Amino acid sequence: MVLDPEIPEFRFPETEHEHMGVTVWMAWHEVARGRVLVGDSVPAELLAETRDDERQLVADALGRPAGGPPSKDQLVTLLALADGLRVELTRPGSTLGVDAAREVMARQVAVVLDEATRPAA
């Protein structure tokens, strides 16, 4: 399976500018988690809205298989995997390549699509 490169939620950083963008995006998530600890949930709520939008974009991009769309848990899992791969790709000294990250992501998307189209037991 080849992932559609136009699905931004499944893109991985290749340029220095993209690496910086991913690093800043992930840092905002850490800041939001820290703000919750001191009673300020506004940043986390804003980021949660963005995550909801991402899940919807992924669901729409993957289509609506005959067995139904991917579940919320499957969508959350795909986005978490993509985030983890991006973090590793931007880690100094990482040996993970963009092509390998895409391959891992494509395999997991294929598994989710297969599960979404498999009839319930």
pLDDT in tens, 10-66: 889 999 999 999 999 999 999 999 999 999 999 999 999 888 888 888 888 877 556
SS (H, E, C) the chain: CCCCCCCHHHCCCCCHHHHHHHHHHHHHHHHHHHHHHCCCCHHHHHHHHHHHHHHHHHHHHHCCCCCCCCCHHHHHHHHHHHHHHHHHHHCCCCCCCHHHHHHHHHHHHHHHHHHHHCCCC
Measuring CA to CA, which residue among 64, 65, 78 is closest to residue 117? 65
Measuring CA to CA, which residue among 56, 54, 53 is closest to residue 64? 56
pLDDT of residue 111: 86
State the pLDDT confidence band at 80, using cuts at 50, 70 and 90.
very high
pLDDT of residue 5: 55
Average pLDDT over residues 75-85: 92
Tens digits of residue pLDDT in 57-75: 888 887 755 667 788 888 8
Whole-model pTM over 0.75:
yes
